[in-house]
Amino acid sequence: MVMTSASIMVSGQYHPQDSILFEAGTVPIYIYPEPTNIWQVGTPQKTYLNSAWSQPKGIITETLVPYPVNTYSVFSFVIDSKSLKQDYATYISFMHKFDTDSIVDYGAIETRYNDGIWCQLGNESWPCPDGPTLITWDQDSSVTSHQKHNHLTKPSGKSDGWLFSRCHLYWVVQDNSPRSINYDSVSIRFIFRSDGTESGKDGWLIDNIVFGYEDYFTGVSETPINPLALKVFPNPVTDQSILRCNPPAQPVTISVFDRAGRSIRKEAGVKPENFKIDRQDFAPGLYLLKIEDRQGKSQTTRFLVQ
């Protein structure tokens, strides 16, 4: 029986682990106690930010009045270890709506693991020593018009109604990375800043934050070639990586699949130790590599391209 590998791929399975709806009994939210902090959990009662996504509460830059000048407002929460599975992407999604002075007043989202240095999601300043190995965003989708927006890295200006945003945080995929992660906790914080000019605008409203882990390649069938250790090294791929196979395998067919389950490279009759992965051939993201021997036994490993 011959099956093509691509036909058995199922990608992008979301496994929500927890949610923050801002009604009772959700994940604890920490609103930083600085005097200028204006985040409030409550019922929005402003002109544009006039209602939560899930009733009655959301978190908002003041429930009643326009946001003030010179605010630096932060709230954070912790994602616990069950959402941080090795080899998976942690994801966070949320509903939001905003109205600010374009560019000068804006939001930002940051993450870190344990007590490390905060890393801004979408900021070009790279690397983030205590941030994810790779961050990717879905484009914002407007719930009202189905338009796509690109406010993700710096929500500013006026949203077209409610937006759905989702961010994928890829942590280290293998323990041979120079950064090995301790999966104790990951924190996320939302920041809102305003400058010294009064705007009379509503600010930022967020609701229905959901987080969990995202599994790729869940439909892959394997009949492991035992005993065989297979890994891409170094991983993540930053320049050129090789395939390590122990003990050395006979020539095999090697296939590489992208996150959507598409076969993007396939070579037959190749010795694993001769297989090279060049950074320049791949878009940043997570990939599955599958080797298959002449007896039809197969084995997979994953690698991340930065």
Contact set with Ca ion (CB under 5 A): 21-22, 52, 54, 57, 101, 105, 194-195, 197, 199, 207
Question: Distance (Å, rounded) from C-alpha 187 to C-alpha 131?
Answer: 10
Residue 5 or 156 having the CB closest to Ca ion: 156
> Tokens 């996504």 sit at which residue?
53
Composition of the chain by helix, strand, coil, percent to 5: 5, 45, 50
Do 270 and 287 form a contact (C-beta atoms < 8 A)?
Answer: no
Q: Find, among 105, 98, 101, 107, the residue nearest to 48 by Cα.
A: 98
Measured from the CB of residue 52, what is the shortest distance to Ca ion in angstroms?
4
Residue 199 or 255 having the CB closest to Ca ion: 199
Measured from the CB of residue 105, what is the shortest distance to Ca ion in angstroms?
4
Measured from the CB of residue 215, what is the shortest distance to Ca ion in angstroms?
27
Residue 52 or 135 having the CB closest to Ca ion: 52
DSSP-based three-state secondary structure for 190: strand
Residue 105 or 130 having the CB closest to Ca ion: 105
Q: Find, among 260, 258, 256, 261, the residue nearest to 291 by Cα.
A: 256
CB closest to Ca ion, residue no: 54
Measured from the CB of residue 231, what is the shortest distance to Ca ion in angstroms?
44
Residue 40 or 199 having the CB closest to Ca ion: 199
Measured from the CB of residue 255, what is the shortest distance to Ca ion in angstroms?
44
Whole-number Cα distances in Å, 227 to 230, 244, 245, 248, 297: 10, 14, 10, 11, 12
What would the two tokens of residue 150 be? 């690109």
Measured from the CB of residue 84, what is the shortest distance to Ca ion in angstroms?
25
Residue 101 or 293 having the CB closest to Ca ion: 101
Question: Distance (Å, rounded) from C-alpha 260 to C-alpha 6?
Answer: 10
Question: Distance (Å, rounded) from C-alpha 306 to C-alpha 304?
Answer: 6
